[in-house]
Each structure stands twice: as C-alpha cells, then as structure tokens.
Chains A and B, each alone.
Chain A
C-alpha cells in the first residue's frame, strides 16, 4: 500500500554490478518506501535475481558504480549478516539444504541471534517452540518440519514455506523474495502468498522478484518494474503485470526499443 507520509527504506541509484567481469546490472534506479509492495519482473537472464542477491550482499558480485542506501545507511558497506540485522531479508530461489542440523535448532539460532542483536533476551527452547509453532500454523506447515534437517529432502513447496517461516521469525523491514512462486503448485502458492500478505504492514516493504504474473493475483503490488538486460525498462502499477501476461515480454521489448529509437 502506498502511504503519503511513509519512510524511504531503500534507495538504489545508478547501480551497476559485474560477475566474473561480465556486467549484469547496468544502472538500476529504485526507491522503495515503507508499506509498499514492488514486483520486479523480467525474462530469465534479465538481471532480476542478481539485483536481489546484490542487495543482500552476495560476494560473487562486484559493484562497479552506483549507491544503495537502506534507512539512510550505505548498504554496500555492510556485510550480509549486518544487512540482515538492519532488516534486509532475502528469500532464496533455491534454499540451501543443511543435512545434520535440525530445522528447529537452525530457526532458533537465527531468531535468537537476531534478538541478541536487538538487545533482547534469547528465547529458551520451550518458549521458542510455542512461538515457532504459532507461526507455522499461519503458513499451514506440518509440525514434523521442525525435526527434519534444514531443507533436506523438502519438496520445492516446503522449502519456500520454510523461507517464509524464516521471514516471519525475523520480521524484516525489507523482504526481497526471489522467485518465491517457482516450484509451487496452486494450493501452496495460495498459502505462501497468504503468509506474505499477513506479514506485510505499514512499516515494512516487500520486493517480489518473479517471472510470472500468477503470484501477483494473490499479492497485489503497488509497483511493477520490468527488467531487461540489466535495466529497469518500464515501471507501472499492477495493470502492467496483466499486460505482460497477455502480450508476453517480447511486447514490452519491442516497445522499449521503439522508445529508444533502435
């Protein structure tokens, strides 16, 4: 939701980034204010997942120019863990499996680490158990989830639910969800989308990185950005996503070329 008096959370200006000396992001400008939901759409290879990882601080990407400010702080100077502590969350397209570590241990560890950072007391295992189970009910997650190793042997849908569960525990200021809809069947998509909707409020913001419009039937974006070849080539409201769905990415590509006169 767009609010008149909202705080600017994220300000990306002229951001360029390389991986292995190949330029993937070629000048991104993006402003996200609290309360807003942004969708970043684009074909495979357009750079949208790279943008998500760069914002979270992945070391494989080299920033060549531009600035990123988060709540007024220079985000590019912060290590990934410090960005997380400031309130940036990345929901992974392919969450990592960690055999040997029980999911509940892992969830408690990240939750308590965050609490300590914020000057609060840790929850003991019993307190945490109550807390996490309540969040799990919200996401319709099976209780056996807690005893299994982190993401090991999870279905695509279970992994994505586990990402949203982590988001629910960490309650970030800015959630960047990379292809959270991929690999989900219709029912799982509905549950995950409902979970995300319940977590959005006036004080936080969400960036949905997605290829398809279908997630946006459940989570209504305030802004839709279309990326192509490392740039945002078009920004509109939710109608833009519907147009893309109807005409495909080629349509916007040709239109973009027409504007640029190439």
Chain B
C-alpha cells in the first residue's frame, strides 16, 4: 500500500485490528472501538508538539509494521537466558502473543494462593467484574495515538490481581520477547492490588535478534489502601527497534509504589510514566537509568501527581550517554491544592561520555499548595575530577578510574532493584557498556 503521509502510516497499522476476535463483553468491544476512533482522529506527534519536542518519531513512519501473523515457538534455550534464577512467576509473550508453554503453571498458583496471574485475553471474561473498573481507566488515550493504538489492539497481555492481605514473595516476570523484524506488538499489562497486599512486578522487553520492529506498550497499575508494589521495568529491545511505552499508576491511601525503570535498548524509545497519589499518605519512589550509546535516542517523561495530603515522592533519574546518543528526561512534580504536607524530592543526574553525546533534562515543579517541602535539581556533566584523582591516588589507571566511576554512576540505580539475579545481569551490561567507551 501507498503511504501518503505519516498519519496514514498509523491508520495502516489499524488494518489488522478488525481481525481481532470480538469479545463477549460489550464494554471491551466499546473500549476498543473508541480507541480505533481516536487513532483515526489523532495525528502523529511531531517535534512541534511540546510533549515531543526532543524526540522525532518520524523514522518510525518510514516502515510498514504489522502484528505478527505467525508466531514462532522459539527454542527454550534461546529464551531461558532471560529467565530469573530466583523462583518466579513467569508470563511469556512472543511477538505480542501469549505463550503458555514458556509460562508458569498459573492455575495452580491461583488455586494455592488466590493470586491471579493470567493472560489478559482469557482473564478478562473470567474476572470481568474486577477488571472493568480499571482496564483503560488510567492510561488516557484521548490525545495519545500510541496508547490509542495499543487499546485498539487490546487482546493478549498480562493480568495480575493480588488479593487482600496477600504477600507475594516470588517476583512476577512479564517477559515480552520479539523474534521477528517488521512486526508491531502491543504489550498490555494490568496490575490490580487489593488492600494490604504486596507484590513485585518485573516488566521486561527483550529481543532474540537485532531487527527493526515496534513495541507499543501500555501498563496500568492500581494500588489499594496500604498495598505495596515494586515495579521494575527493563527495556532492552534491539538497537534498531522502536519502543513506545506508557504506564499509569494510581495510589490509594498509605500505599507504596517503588519503581526502577531501565532503558538500554531501541533506536528510539519513549516512556511515559504517570504516578497519581490519589489519596493521603501515599508514597512513590521512581528511579530510573538510561544507558545508551551509538545513535540511540531514549526519552522518558514522568509525572508524579500529588493530589492529596501527606504524600511522599522521591525520584532519582540518571542518564549515561555515549557515542552520538541523545537522552531526554522530562520530570514533572505536581502538587495540587489538597496536597498539603507533601514531601517531594527529585533529582536528574546525567553523565556524558563523549563530546557528541547529548542530554535534555527538564525537571519541573508545579505547586498549588502552600505547606509543602519540594526539592528538585539537575546536573549534567563529565566525571568529577576529584573523584578520578581519588581513585588514581590509590593506583588505578585513568581508564580504570573512569570506568569504575561510570559503572558506579549506573550501579547506584541498579542496586535499588530488589531481584538479585537481575541486578547481576544489569551490572554486567553496565560494566560492558561503560568499558567499551
């Protein structure tokens, strides 16, 4: 087909949508239909849009991407290197399609613990009453063509429901594997926690080979009163891929959300993370690491929205940028009029390894309450000479000293990940990348 302009490219992406099986649930069909309408109405963002000022998404429109027709069943050996060595609950998706053979035995889990971990498309009819209030309720697609596309294709995905008082010890590993070029996948996750529950979710995007493809992911998370959730998100897509992700989190009273997001892969990536402290005394920790080189572009936009009083948020985002790469960090902290006694700390720290590396960082505070404590700041620079001197005075060569400090810069974020084997994997990646220059 002939792609007349960029917006046509997106409408062409809708082609496969009508082949999705119709759901017995009317509300789900409606949700998809309204998303289709939005895709048709919306334009693809350009750098003239404030939200996309630094990220030119046009290269994505130069290709024709379609959902995978045939999904290969990969050799377990190729896939298992991504598995956690700890005991975990695992859901595996190949090119966007749920693959039960590689996933954990989920029915036993639900039988024994009451914890629901399921493929979304089979889980929706079964747990419709629990899902309906949340699915599509947090990630707005009214003005976001990517979220609208994801919602239009809403089918397979990850569903996690943690019942009241359940403390899930094993991390839940949501593994999204791309095996083919030219495919677009629409990973979708819905995480619902009931009061006093606790769980660790690891959202993981990997590729079996280098190739040009699109991951367009949406995750929605809701925390009930006093629930606690660790959310780790690692994007290690192919360096030719496009990755667009949105995540919205809603926190009820005294709930705790701790997240670490790591962006390593993709030619162009964008991650929107919106955290709403919807009720009092909620706590959010949002840490991130962007580690890129070559001609990569990684853009992260976060918004931590304090709607009610006595909330706490802390954010440390770091970028290590090498080669000709470009990192973008836009972090907004919103403190609404009802959010008195908010305590918020935000820091953006950036390390440029080469003269051509670039970072655009934009921390923003919008405060509409008068009794709050908010601190934010940003630094961009090379390694600190005093630190280099300290290490050299101990006998380390200039290269060793710089590598160690670069590694440490990233490791500070990785250390906050509560899964030991993942920490090891990522530390190894940081080590290799920082020593490769």
A residues contacting B by CB (< 8 A) are 56-60, 79-81, 83-85, 89-90, 92, 95-96, 98-101, 106, 109-110, 113-114, 117, 149, 166, 170
- Central interface residue in B392, B405, B411, B415, by most chain A CB within 10 Å: B392
**A-side contacts of B386, CB under 8 Å:** 96
CA distance in complex: A72, B387 (Å): 29
Apart from A92-B393, A99-B412: 13 A-B pairs, beta carbons within 8 A: A57-B389, A59-B389, A79-B398, A83-B393, A84-B392, A84-B393, A90-B393, A98-B405, A100-B407, A100-B413, A106-B404, A117-B395, A170-B394
Q: In the complex, are the beta carbons of B398 and A109 less than 8 A apart? A: no
Interface residues in B373-388 by Cβ distance below 8 A to A read 385-387
B residues contacting A by CB (< 8 A) are 385-387, 389-398, 400-401, 404-405, 407-415
- Provide the main secondary structure of the chain B interface: helix
CA distance in complex: A96, B394 (Å): 12
**A-side contacts of B394, CB under 8 Å:** 84, 110, 113, 166, 170
Can you list 15 pairs linking A and B with CB atoms under 8 Å apart?
A56-B393, A57-B392, A79-B392, A80-B389, A81-B392, A81-B398, A81-B401, A83-B393, A84-B395, A95-B390, A113-B394, A113-B395, A113-B396, A113-B400, A149-B415
CA distance in complex: A164, B350 (Å): 32
**B-side contacts of A100, CB under 8 Å:** 407-415
A86: nearest chain-B partner, CB-CB: B395
Q: B385, B389, B404: which contacts A101 (Cβ < 8 A)?
A: B404
Q: In the complex, are the beta carbons of B404 and A80 less than 8 A apart? A: no
**A-side contacts of B404, CB under 8 Å:** 98, 101, 106, 109
Rounded to whole Å, the gap between the CB of B351 and the closest CB of chain A is: 12
A169: nearest chain-B partner, CB-CB: B394
Given A59-B385, A81-B392, CB of A98 within 8 Å of CB of B408: yes
**A-side contacts of B393, CB under 8 Å:** 56-57, 80-81, 83-84, 89-90, 92
- Central interface residue in B386, B394, B400, B401, by most chain A CB within 10 Å: B394
**A-side contacts of B410, CB under 8 Å:** 100
Rounded to whole Å, the gap between the CB of B414 and the closest CB of chain A is: 8
CA distance in complex: A110, B401 (Å): 10
Q: In the complex, are the beta carbons of A58 and B389 less than 8 A apart? A: yes
Q: In the complex, are the beta carbons of A96 and B387 less than 8 A apart? A: yes
**A-side contacts of B412, CB under 8 Å:** 99-100, 149
CA distance in complex: A149, B387 (Å): 14
**B-side contacts of A57, CB under 8 Å:** 389, 392-393
**A-side contacts of B405, CB under 8 Å:** 98
Q: In the complex, are the beta carbons of A92 and B390 less than 8 A apart? A: yes
